[in-house]
Amino acid sequence: MRYKKGNIVVVKFPFLLKEGREVQKGRPALVVNNSEVKKRYNNVVLAAITSRIPLEVMEMEIVLEPENSIGLIKKSLLRLDFIMTIPEELISRKIGVISKRLSFFNFI
């Protein structure tokens, strides 16, 4: 599947447990690269999204309200300081699209 800039996707994110086992958990993330980069390298650049929102939100963090179009079920935090590049195969599915009214997105 082709994922576009602005898509919110679920990523199979690996976690190492204390016992040394690796477990993959589905985590939401925002696609930040355009499709031209993906065509060339077959990787997707993502910004992490978490449901853990600290009392103080930093400059590179944006609170996202749950909306049907976004696909998030609870209030979440978009972390523009937590960027990752992964193979497209680690994305399990698209759940939504970031709202166009979030003007910050034009600068990513």
pTM for the model = 0.82
**What pLDDT does residue 38 have?**
56
> Per residue in 52-83, pLDDT tens?
999 999 999 999 988 878 899 999 999 999 99
Residues paired with 85 in a beta bridge: 45
43-50 and 22-31: which strand pairing? antiparallel
φ/ψ of residue 48, rounded to 5: -70, 150
Architecture of domain 7-103: Roll (2.30)
**What pLDDT does residue 79 have?**
93
**What pLDDT does residue 42 have?**
77
